[in-house]
Structure 1
Amino acid sequence: MIITNVNLVLENEVVRGSVEVTDGVIRALADSPSQQPGAIDGNGGWLLPGLVELHTDNLDKHFTPRPKVSWPPLSAMRTHDAQVVAAGITTVLDAVAIGDERDGGTRQDNLDRMIHTIINSQRQGLNRADHLLHLRCELPHETTVPLFEHYVDLPEVQLVSLMDHSPGQRQFVSMTKYREYYQGKYGLSDPQMHEFEQRQLALSAQWSDTNRTYIARLCRERGISLASHDDATSAHVLESHHLGMVMAEFPTTVEAAVCSHQQGLMVMMGAPNVVRGGSHSGNVAAHELAALGVLDVLSSDYYPASLLEAVFMLAEDDRNSLGLAEATQLATVNPARALGLTDRGILAEGRRADLVLVERHQGQVYPKRVWCRGELAF
């Protein structure tokens, strides 16, 4: 397969040219058009490496499309897979929450079904994208460690993140924002909200520190990449660094992001934060961190199409120094390197032919074709 008449988004520059693919691998790149008959005409669009997504709970909404509605697992997986591929994502870590009962238990009820479906659909070759696992460990719960021990040795587990969504800290330093979010999500009255807060605080005091230390040790022993979540202060970051984290997911303040970057943790922010112009929780905006040079990874989080859109938005934002090549790194080679996946993430000879052909219409980016290992997936 040859794709020609495209802007090749290489690791450090954008070059007009063509690419040749053989047996699912990039065999050659050229800074000139191909004259071969049958070459695919890219119509002057952009050819990017397939996007690498480290943190998305998009599968949740397909398993439970409405409250108390449980969807057939393979149907849910097929829809999720199609959605991420259509967004230009060719490697995705499906994030499953362990020890999270904030939704009344739905996530926990779905846990085994989701993990079983992800693994088996991937092993049977049913998916278009490459699906791996991200275990999101909600620390303030007695079931978190037993569940983690049950799943941690699955070979598909590539990333573990440690979370504590207790009121008054990290993501929800602001109690006002905390109450707005949970009362809006679950329809809690003021007395119910107070009871909910007290329960979360008690669970955090009992379990968080112990679970954090134990899970981090198991990850270090197994060589599994580890991420902090919602760090808000330098003290949080230094603790994360001490525990062996390689990534800081969604730091909530400039202080935490800058300190994470200085300590060698890759700073991840949500692509929806970029598209919307700020955090829905009132925390630091991703574009601020890009302007400071401390943004390393983007994640689509809850909206797959946001990842590609955020790349182009950051590349055109004159508040930072990112060009398209540098902005693309945030969603390709940087997240791949965080996991030690050295076979993908850049357009280079010998790398996997995970490719996204992008066009723009009226300022909007459109993935026109997506290839996974050289096979047309969208």
Structure 2
Amino acid sequence: MRQALTNARVVLPERVLEKATVLVEDECILAVEPERLGTASASVVDLEGRWLLPGIVDLHSDYVETLSEPRPGALFPRRFAAVQWDRICAMCGITTAYDSLLFATGEFGVRSVSGMKDLVEALETLKPLALVDHRLHLRYEVTDRASFEIVRELMAQDRVDLLSFNDHTPGQGQYPTFESYLNYCAGKYRMTEEQVRRKVLEKQEARADAPERMRALRELANACGIPIASHDDDSPRQVAGHAAQGVTIVEFPVTLEAAREARARGLKTMVGAPNLIRGGSTSGALRAIDALQAGVVDALCSDYLPSGMLASVFLLPRLSGCPLHEAANLVTLNPARMAGMTDRGAIRPGLRADLMAVEMCGEEPVVAATWVRGRQAFATRELTRLGTADEWALIGTEEGA
């Protein structure tokens, strides 16, 4: 089936085309600004001046965990959470979602071995009916001995698409002090100070043999072709250590120095879209806008706010003056390439027809429609269909007469 998405402001990796047409055939983009012959017999959709962007590639979102436990102790069926997450992705223009699940036994609510295994199964069960492409970003808490074997098993079974090493031990990374860690655990998970102190002691003791577990997972990841990310690097020294562990992506660098070290070593960096929108990190770490203006950011991720990805694309040009197409690359082309995907992330002939039409509500962008592999997965309203290109041309001729 051919579709001609016309009268659109098409966002390419290097520029924006005004009043342009994108021709889609079956699952792929066939042409951008095609010749008249190429659109013959295509079903024409008039986007009426809306923006047309590639679908978002989100390498880190733990929102499905939130849907599983929206309040402390309020656990919902994992399949229920998976289905809601899939629909939210389509509504937000996220066409490739790296479902980020943290294996950290007994640490944060739903984040347990059994809870995460159930979520993995639920997300895999969903795939035949899913609106978007779901992939597994397995976040391994390096101090968690209990989940090591199941993590290794999932990787060996080719069920993991991105592995990241996480260390939430207080005194470094996201939690520079015990108090900051205590406040988070007490505020979000209602843990007592005694429970938190016990958990911290366990984590500190388990750090001794964490490098050995990381080495084993790194070797398996390399053998399976799984890219590896680090999390919350707070210093050049920590970045160097992670680079030695095979890391190629540094997500949420805590300091500008860490981000600069990552770029100097040829690693890719990723910061959170919510950080950009709020104007800062919830933990007082590096501001996304500062990292972006310093030129040390390769991609944005939604982290805990899936709707933040598209909003960031249109906010960043207002904050920094960067062209819209460069802002769009941060959530489309760049993350796709960072994860090793060359079949998506841009509006180019031959790539997957993962697309989103966007309209404006004042300064806020709103997804009007989402296509995944050329199939419409979401729409806020019926788009104007003009029949086939041949019929549309005939109408135009008659009106001109």
* Change in 2 beyond 3 A, CA 1:48/1:32: farther
TM superposition shift of 1:64: 2.9
Q: Distance in 2 between matches of 1:132 and 1:228?
A: 18
Give the aligned partner of residue 213 of structure 1: 215
Give the aligned partner of residue 21 of structure 1: 24
Give the aligned partner of residue 54 of structure 1: 59
- What count of residue pairs does the alignment treat as equivalent? 373
Q: Distance in 2 between matches of 1:303 and 1:163?
A: 20
Give the aligned partner of residue 399 of structure 2: none
* SS in structure 1 at match of 2:67: helix
Kindly provide the amino acid, as one letter, of the partner of residue 306 in structure 1. G
* SS in structure 2 at match of 1:170: coil
> Which of the residues 220, 242, 245 maps onto 2:244?
242
Q: Distance in 1 between matches of 2:326 and 2:180?
A: 34
1:177 aligns with 2:180: yes
Q: What is the root-mean-square deviation in Å for CA atoms of aligned residues?
A: 2.1
Q: Distance in 2 between matches of 1:48 and 1:317?
A: 20
* SS in structure 2 at match of 1:171: coil
Give the aligned partner of residue 50 of structure 2: 45
TM superposition shift of 1:184: 1.4
Kindly provide the amino acid, as one letter, of the partner of residue 181 in structure 2. Y
TM superposition shift of 1:235: 0.8
Structure whose alpha-carbon radius of gyration is higher: 2
* SS in structure 2 at match of 1:314: helix
Give the aligned partner of residue 12 of structure 1: 14
Q: How big is each residue's C-alpha offset from its partner over 1:280-311, in whole Å with a ceiling of 9 and x where there is no partner?
A: 01000011111011110111011110111111
Q: Distance in 2 between matches of 1:252 and 1:212?
A: 21
Give the aligned partner of residue 234 of structure 2: 232
Give the aligned partner of residue 72 of structure 1: 77
Q: Distance in 2 between matches of 1:98 and 1:193?
A: 18
Q: How does 1:307-326 map to 2 (within 5 A)?
A: 307-318=309-320, 322-326=322-326
Kindly provide the amino acid, as one letter, of the partner of residue 59 in structure 1. V
* Change in 2 beyond 3 A, CA 1:14/1:104: closer
CA contact (8 A) 2:53 2:357 kept: yes
TM superposition shift of 1:340: 1.4
* Change in 2 beyond 3 A, CA 1:100/1:314: farther
* SS in structure 1 at match of 2:125: helix
Q: How big is each residue's C-alpha offset from its partner over 1:331-368, in whole Å with a ceiling of 9 and x where there is no partner?
A: 11111111211110000001100001011112111000
Kindly provide the amino acid, as one letter, of the partner of residue 179 in structure 1. L
Point out the more displaced range, 62-71 or 3-12. 62-71
Give the aligned partner of residue 346 of structure 1: 346
1:88 aligns with 2:82: no
TM superposition shift of 1:101: 2.0
Q: Distance in 1 between matches of 2:56 and 2:111?
A: 29
Give identity over the alignment, percent. 34
TM superposition shift of 1:191: 4.2
* SS in structure 2 at match of 1:359: strand
Kindly provide the amino acid, as one letter, of the partner of residue 50 in structure 1. G
Give the aligned partner of residue 109 of structure 1: 114
Segments of structure 2 that go 5 or more residues without pairing to the other structure are: 379-401
1:266 aligns with 2:263: no
Give the aligned partner of residue 364 of structure 2: 364
1:150 aligns with 2:153: yes
Q: Distance in 2 between matches of 1:150 and 1:43?
A: 50
Give the aligned partner of residue 292 of structure 2: 290
CA contact (8 A) 1:140 1:164 kept: yes
Kindly provide the amino acid, as one letter, of the partner of residue 337 in structure 1. R
CA contact (8 A) 1:229 1:249 kept: yes
Q: Distance in 2 between matches of 1:223 and 1:108?
A: 24
1:131 aligns with 2:121: no
Kindly provide the amino acid, as one letter, of the partner of residue 327 in structure 2. A
Q: How big is each residue's C-alpha offset from its partner over 1:116-166, in whole Å with a ceiling of 9 and x where there is no partner?
A: 1212221xx210000111110001021232111110023342100001100
CA contact (8 A) 2:110 2:116 kept: no
* SS in structure 2 at match of 1:370: strand
Give the aligned partner of residue 334 of structure 2: 334
Kindly provide the amino acid, as one letter, of the partner of residue 295 in structure 2. G
Q: Distance in 1 between matches of 2:143 and 2:58?
A: 26
Q: TM-score, structure 1 length as denominator?
A: 0.93
1:186 aligns with 2:189: yes
* SS in structure 1 at match of 2:58: strand
CA contact (8 A) 2:103 2:111 kept: no
TM superposition shift of 1:67: 3.9
Q: TM-score, structure 2 length as denominator?
A: 0.88
Q: Distance in 2 between matches of 1:195 and 1:110?
A: 21
TM superposition shift of 1:186: 2.7
